[in-house]
């Protein structure tokens, strides 16, 4: 008989002491920028502003407008992979574009804006 998985869901995962420490250090401007490949959204859940971190492999909780680029961080796993439409639309004024998941599939390129910024921040790091 197959054993049922007892892995926690993304929704039930909580930021660790390390996530909270990084957020505190970033708020004190000791850490300038965080680059992550994690898709669990725990950096953002810990309070780390999106402007202070690159999410290179996407996030199970983030959908992005295909028209204006606005991101929406949800409290539920969107369940998509490879930029599939989520069925919701952007609520930014005069936009209404389709929202898409942000999780990369194996053949997807890294998100250009996050990749470029992470490269710049790493080069500027002391």
- Give start and end residues of each alpha helix (H) in 3-99: 17-27, 42-45
CA count, 13 A, side-chain hemisphere, 99 = 20
Asked about 57 being catalytic, the answer comes back as: yes
Taking the C-alpha atoms of residue 57 and residue 1, their distance in angstroms, rounded to an integer, is: 34
Catalytic, out of 19, 43, 53, 57: 57
CA distances from 105 to 23, 81, 83 (A): 28, 6, 9
Torsion of CA 5, 47, 23, 112, to 10 degrees: 80
80, two tokens: 């998509």
Query: Taking a C-beta distance cutoff of 8 angstroms, is the pair 35, 122 a contact?
Result: yes
Catalytic residue IDs: 57
């Amino acid at each position: 008989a197959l054993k049922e998985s007892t892995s926690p869901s993304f929704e039930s995962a909580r930021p660790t002491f390390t996530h909270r420490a990084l957020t505190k250090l970033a708020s004190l401007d000791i850490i300038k920028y965080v680059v992550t490949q994690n898709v669990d959204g725990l950096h953002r859940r810990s309070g780390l502003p999106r402007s202070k971190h690159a999410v290179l492999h996407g996030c199970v909780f983030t959908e992005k407008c295909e028209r204006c680029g606005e991101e929406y961080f949800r409290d539920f796993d969107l369940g998509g992979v490879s930029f599939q439409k989520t069925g919701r639309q952007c609520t930014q004024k005069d936009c209404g574009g389709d929202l898409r998941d942000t999780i990369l599939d194996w053949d997807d390129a890294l998100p250009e804006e996050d990749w470029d910024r992470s490269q710049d921040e790493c080069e500027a790091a002391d």
